[in-house]
Every structure is written in C-alpha cells, then in structure tokens.
Amino acid sequence: MSLSSISPIDGRYENATSSLSEVLSEHALMKYRVKVELEWLRYLANSKLEGIRAISSEENTFIDGWLASYSLEDSEWIKHIERMTRHDVKAVEYYIREKLQVSSLIELGEFVHFACTSEDINNLAYAMMLRDAVKNHWLPAAQNMVSAVSSLAVNTRSLPMMARTHGQPASPTTLGKELAVFVYRWQRQLKQIANLEYLGKFAGAVGNFNAHTSAYPDANWREIAKNFVENTLDLTFNPLTTQIESHDYIAELFHATVRFNQIALGFAQDVWQYISVGYFKQRVIAGEVGSSTMPHKVNPIDFENAEANFGLANATLNHLASKLQISRLQRDLSDSSALRNIGVGIAHGMIALGSLTRGINKLEVNEAVIQADLEHEWALLAEPVQTVMRKYNLKGGYERMKDLTRGETVTKAVMHEFIHSLEIPENDKQRLLELRPETYVGLANDLVDVILEGNA
C-alpha cells in the first residue's frame, strides 16, 4: 500500500482491488490494445487478401508467446513512445512495429493497424477489459456475497421476527424470509448481468469501411469484421456505428450493476438497523478496536464501509452510463476521458462487496432478543382477528380492533377476551385463540424456497 496514493482504491483498499489491475489499469488497456492489433494482423494474414502472406506456425507461436509474456516493461515501452507521439494508440502501433524488427514478421509491418482508426482498437480493448473484469472478478465476488446471505436466509427461515413498517411494529415475519427478499432481487440482477453482450465495432474512421474498400473493394468487409470481432475476440459485433461504438451495452451493464449495488446498499442499511436493535450480534475479532474511547463497542463498520463504497460506485457508474451514450456528431473525445474511469466504479463496488461479505460472515443471530420483541406484541394479532371477522361479515371489524389496540397495551388476556366475545364458528375461534405473535407468520417459511429455485 502506498501512503502517497491520492485514491483509496490504490492506497488504503489496495488489497481489495489489486486483482483488478490486470484487467482495468492503464497497463491492462495497453495489453488489450496490443492483443487487438496482433490478432488483427494475424487475421489479415490468414484472409488470403492480395499482398499479404500467410503466417507460419513458428510466427504464430511467436505471437502467442508475445501476448502471454506481455509485461509492465512493455507498457513502459509504449508510454515512452507516447511521450513523443502524444497519441496513445499510435504509440501501440509503433511499439509493435519495433518489436517485429526481431522477427520475420517485419515484412508484414505495414499491415499493423491496417484500415483502423484508434477507436477500432480502443472499443474492442475496453469491451474485453469489461468482460474479463465482470466475469472473472466482479461476478464471482457478487455471487459469493449473495451465497452468504442465501445460506443465512435458509438457516433462519423458521425464526419468527416482528416486522417493522414505517419503523413501527407490524405483522410478524421470519428473519430468513426478509433476507431472502434481498437474495431474490440480487438473483434477478445477476442473471441480467451474466447474460449481457459486450459489443465491438471495427468499421474504420466513421463506421463505413471507407479505407477498407479503397484497398480491397471486392472483399466482404462486413463479414470480415464480424468474424474477427466475434470469432477471434469473443465479443458481439455492432454492425452500425459512427467512429465510435455507441456504448449502449456499457450503459446496460452499468445500470444493471447500479441496481445490484443499490439493493446491496439497502441491505447494508437494514442489517445495520438489525444490529442496532440487537437482532444480530457481531463476532468479536481478537485485536480489533470498536472505539478509541469506549472499549465495549463492536461497531458495524463493515456494513458502513459497504454503504459508502456502493454509493461511490454508483455515482461513477451512473455518470458513465449517462455520459457514454452521447457523442457529438460522428465522435468527440470526451468519451475517451470518461472511459478511463470505468475501473473506479467497478473497484469501489469490489471494495463494498468485500466489506459486506466480511460483515455477513461475522453476524450471529440473537434469537433471545428477536423472540423477546414478539412476546409482548399481542396487538399484532389485530390483523388476523379483524380479517376473520370480515370473513363472517361482522360489521366494523377493523374499527373495533382499532379501538381495542391503537395506542393501548394489549395483553394476551385482553386479546383472548375479545376473541371469546365474537359470534363466529367455534373452529375459527379456536384457531384465533391458538395464535401467538410468533406463530402468525403466514407462508414466510415456505417463501424462502423461492431463492433456492432461483439457484436451480
């Protein structure tokens, strides 16, 4: 960790985000650009177009080794060139040509960056960066967090708990069912994120294959570009663009991620409140300090940290999702500057996911407090009593229960006296008399199965 880092992403939280540097740093961007350029050179060489020879097996091995061994020193080499060119993608092209000097591929040097605009290289590099960051890093972290909450939900599915609507005592539920609500919401967002396409364009300066057709007017450039983007780079081809890929898929990805994060932020706030009322205890970690002056405290810092970082992630991702969909005429450069911050939004999300998962794994359910909350809340049975009264068309059931319970302390004896006074069939009366606050949970237990079905 560098104490001189401006951003906590690369400073205080470096351990939580360092794995992302291989896919979202400037070094990673250069590496992916080099991959696009070399794969395009290889693709052209195998296209049988006039004037370019095929690549030998030894030369293919050379390219494979080059890509596999690409290092920070290569990126520093590119940065050195960029200081002279003042153009980042042109620096990549010159770097590749220089490295080809030691290979028989030097005679193909003029086909490096052939018919490409810098955005052809950049949009494909960013698409691969995002794909690999989400699928290999963010999604596993998100799924791990959701799995932890899912396990807790299943384990507490039968634990009765007083609900709170508007912060006030409300009809009982179970702790597991309330946790399962969040799991179900996350599952829907994860399914959308996992199925999103990562688009790429490869059609030249303004998206029309102008340069391509000037050199090879009879080639099927639309098909060539589609095959390259989809079969070589494993992306989805965008067939109709200006100079830039329109970034709609990035907006779709970031908006879905924002929804996931916002659900998680709400979860962190709810758990914080459950901790504050004693429903959860936090496992004590030896050596940790909760307060600099109050030795007894075990603060819910993991949930507070998660809340802050989900908020920061969403602020960045929301801005990028809105900004990137707009480009003046055939292009302007503002998207290029904005795209350099995709790692910021994803990294804050990763920090939050790590904190939330850590906090969840330290939770211990305090059943005694949860049960004590329910024991004295006999007024919660006003709902089933007035509902059964409606069933038998007893007039003013709601109003009568309101008069009995609102603002009053309702004991078991008071509730049973009222139930005994009702002129309803004996079987329903007996069923109401057998109800207790902790047994009035409806189908809460069974509803937890929904999240298990979602994982099937």
Residue that is written with structure tokens 């000037």 in the block: 214
CB atoms within 10 A of CB 17: 23
Nearest alpha carbon to residue 259 among 356, 187, 171, 174 = 187
| Alpha carbon distance 415, 384 (integer Å) | 12
Tokens representing 238 are: 């965008």
Q: What is the pLDDT of residues 407-445, one digit of tens each?
A: 878 999 999 999 999 999 999 999 999 999 999 999 999
Tokens representing 251 are: 């907006």
Tokens representing 317 are: 């991702």
Q: Residue 41: which residues within 8 A CB-CB, separation 6 or more?
A: 63, 96, 105, 108, 111, 112, 114
Mean pLDDT of 125-130: 98
Tokens representing 247 are: 């970034």
Nearest alpha carbon to residue 225 among 207, 246, 251, 206 = 207
Nearest alpha carbon to residue 129 among 31, 243, 232 = 31
- C-alpha to C-alpha distances, 246 to 207, 208, 252, 427, nearest whole angstrom: 11, 14, 12, 66
Mean pLDDT of 93-122: 94
Query: What's the CATH class of domain 14-114?
Result: mainly alpha
Contact (Cβ atoms closer than 8 angstroms) between residue 360 and residue 148: yes
Could you tell me the fold of the domain covering 376-447?
Ribonucleotide Reductase Protein R1; domain 1 (1.10.40)
Tokens representing 438 are: 């902790």
Q: What is the pLDDT of residues 316-361, one digit of tens each?
A: 999 999 999 999 999 888 888 999 999 999 999 999 999 999 999 9
- The reported pTM is 0.93
| Alpha carbon distance 138, 443 (integer Å) | 34
Q: What is the pLDDT of residue 288?
A: 61
Q: Helix, strand, or coil here: 367?
A: helix
Q: What is the pLDDT of residue 287?
A: 54
| Alpha carbon distance 48, 44 (integer Å) | 8
Q: Are strands 199-200 and 236-237 parallel, antiparallel or unpaired?
A: parallel
Domain ranges of the chain: 14-114, 119-159+167-366, 376-447
Q: What is the pLDDT of residue 333?
A: 85
| Active-site residue set | 166, 291
The CATH homologous superfamily to which domain 119-159+167-366 belongs is Fumarase/aspartase (Central domain) (1.20.200.10)
- C-alpha to C-alpha distances, 329 to 38, 201, 246, 247, 249, nearest whole angstrom: 30, 17, 12, 15, 19
Q: What is the pLDDT of residue 285?
A: 64
Q: Helix, strand, or coil here: 166?
A: coil
Helix extents (H) in 228-364: 248-276, 301-323, 334-339, 342-361
Q: What is the pLDDT of residue 216?
A: 96
The band of 296, judged by pLDDT with boundaries at 50, 70 and 90, is low
